[in-house]
């Protein structure tokens, strides 16, 4: 009789959990309930105690939903969607690229023989994906009974959003040039002083200067991307009526292109030391000598990859002294330039 009650209780819990999870992503709750019970029945954990069964099933479902959420969120960030995805090559969260050993020498009107022999030595270049993980969140059983909303689903969504915000801001930071050079131009704005003071606004002329720097390098027009920071978006909206009129394209939902660049906006752009035109370290707190930058890149020379994602869950039945549920997530991701070329930035100059 006890086994029957335990079995029925497990079915009820799985049906409820599956319904909640699937409803959160827009799928009929009854489908989720049935699906989760099917997983439980075929699971080797089926004969285990209730708490262990629930933890195993929850973790499987949460991992699947988190992977789906990560994929959907990446598609919503236009500038990162332009970069080629190498995820299929990320074995054990490491990608192996081949560092080509230069090009062969070309002889013109040669009359000297025998021809000299040269080697083109290619080397392996492994790149490890960055690990992103959240600290466990505590949710007590008392809390779950007292509240009127799905706290578990809310916590899962907040974990995903926190990881997304960090990994995308780190990605754009990695795509920004470290400093000013011929192949990685870092330009300063030349417009009038911004209303808040302290910096010069961006002008269309500044974007044209960036275009010229790309033209000099003979970078193809198709694939040029410019991600404007919040300051520069607002500058153009306030001072450039043509940009304001084209700010939102109701057909495509993106900002209209400018001078060969596909234009996007992102709030978490990197900061630069203005006087030196050097990039501030990721996570460093900007000061009065630093300004946020708009970042440009040639998408075909960039890469991104997503590795494994795993959910961690500890059921309240495993913590009888506190009766609390714990959950957190770990995922692997990276976004980098394949070569230190085709990068650029426009930084607000200090008045």
Which among 324, 49, 283 is positioned nearest to 169, based on CA atoms? 283
Q: What is the pLDDT of residue 51?
A: 38
Which residues in 328-343 are b (16+ Cβ under 10 Å) and which e? bbbbbbbbbbeeebbb
CA distances from residue 260 to 43, 73, 174, 191, 256 in whole angstroms, order as listed: 54, 26, 22, 21, 10
Choosing among 1.10.287, 3.90.1690, 3.30.2020, 1.20.1640, the CATH entry for 77-96+126-351 is: 3.90.1690
CA distances from residue 227 to 82, 299, 332 in whole angstroms, order as listed: 12, 12, 24
136 token code pair = 């466990």
Q: What is the DSSP string of 216-235?
A: HTT--STTEEEEE-HHHHHH
Q: What is the pLDDT of residue 49?
A: 38
Cα gap 301→249, rounded to integer Å: 27
Cα gap 182→236, rounded to integer Å: 27
Q: What is the DSSP string of 223-272?
A: TEEEEE-HHHHHHHHHH-HHHHHHS--TTTSSPPPBTTBEEEE-S---EE
pLDDT tens digit string along 6-60? 455 555 655 555 555 555 555 665 555 565 555 555 444 333 333 333 445 566 6
Q: Judging by DSSP bridges, how do beta strands 343-347 and 186-188 pair with one another?
A: parallel
Q: What is the pLDDT of residue 239?
A: 82
For the chain, which residues make up each domain, given as ranges? 1-62, 77-96+126-351
Q: What is the mean pLDDT of residues 202-206?
A: 94
Q: What is the mean pLDDT of residues 317-337?
A: 89
**Which of 24-38, 80-94, 134-148, 209-223 is the least confident region?**
24-38
CB 256 within 8 A of CB 246: yes
Q: Which residue has the higher pLDDT, 99 or 224?
A: 224
Q: Which residue has the higher pLDDT, 301 or 122?
A: 301
CB 129 within 8 A of CB 332: yes
Q: Judging by DSSP bridges, how do beta strands 262-265 and 302-314 pair with one another?
A: unpaired
Average pLDDT, the chain: 80
Q: Which residue has the higher pLDDT, 94 or 277?
A: 277
Which among 112, 26, 5, 35 is positioned nearest to 69, based on CA atoms? 26
Q: What is the mean pLDDT of residues 161-190?
A: 94
**What is the pLDDT confidence band of residue 284, given thresholds at 50, 70 and 90?**
very high
């Amino acid at each position: 009789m006890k086994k029957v009650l335990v079995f029925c209780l497990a079915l009820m819990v799985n049906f409820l959990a599956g319904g909640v999870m699937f409803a959160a992503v827009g799928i009929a709750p009854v489908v989720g309930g049935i699906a989760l019970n099917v997983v439980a029945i075929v699971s080797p954990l089926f004969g285990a105690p209730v708490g262990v069964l629930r933890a195993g099933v929850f973790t499987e479902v949460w991992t699947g939903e988190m992977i789906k959420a990560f994929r959907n969120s990446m598609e919503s960030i236009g500038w990162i969607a332009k970069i080629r995805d190498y995820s299929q090559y990320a074995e054990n969260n490491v990608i192996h690229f081949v560092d080509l050993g230069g090009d062969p020498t070309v002889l013109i009107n040669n009359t000297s023989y025998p021809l000299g022999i040269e080697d083109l030595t290619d080397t392996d270049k492994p790149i490890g994906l960055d690990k992103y993980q959240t600290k466990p969140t505590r949710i007590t059983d008392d809390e779950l009974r007292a509240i009127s909303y799905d706290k578990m689903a809310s916590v899962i969504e907040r974990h995903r959003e926190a990881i997304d915000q960090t990994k995308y801001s780190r990605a754009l930071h990695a795509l920004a040039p470290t400093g000013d050079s011929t192949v990685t131009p870092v330009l300063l704005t030349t417009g009038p002083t911004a209303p808040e003071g302290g910096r010069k606004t961006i002008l269309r002329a500044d974007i044209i200067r960036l275009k010229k720097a790309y033209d000099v390098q003979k970078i193809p027009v198709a694939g040029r991307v410019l991600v404007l920071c919040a300051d520069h978006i607002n500058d153009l909206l306030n001072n450039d009526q043509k940009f304001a009129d084209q700010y939102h394209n109701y057909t495509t939902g993106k900002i209209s292109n400018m001078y060969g660049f596909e234009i996007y906006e992102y709030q978490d752009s990197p900061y630069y030391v203005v006087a030196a035109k050097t990039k501030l370290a990721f996570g460093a707190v900007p000061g009065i000598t630093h300004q946020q930058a708009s970042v440009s890149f040639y998408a075909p020379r960039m890469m991104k990859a997503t590795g494994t994602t795993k959910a961690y869950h500890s059921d309240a039945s495993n913590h009888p002294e506190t009766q609390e549920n714990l959950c957190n997530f770990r995922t692997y991701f990276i976004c980098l330039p394949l070569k230190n070329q085709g990068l650029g930035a426009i930084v607000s100059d200090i008045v």
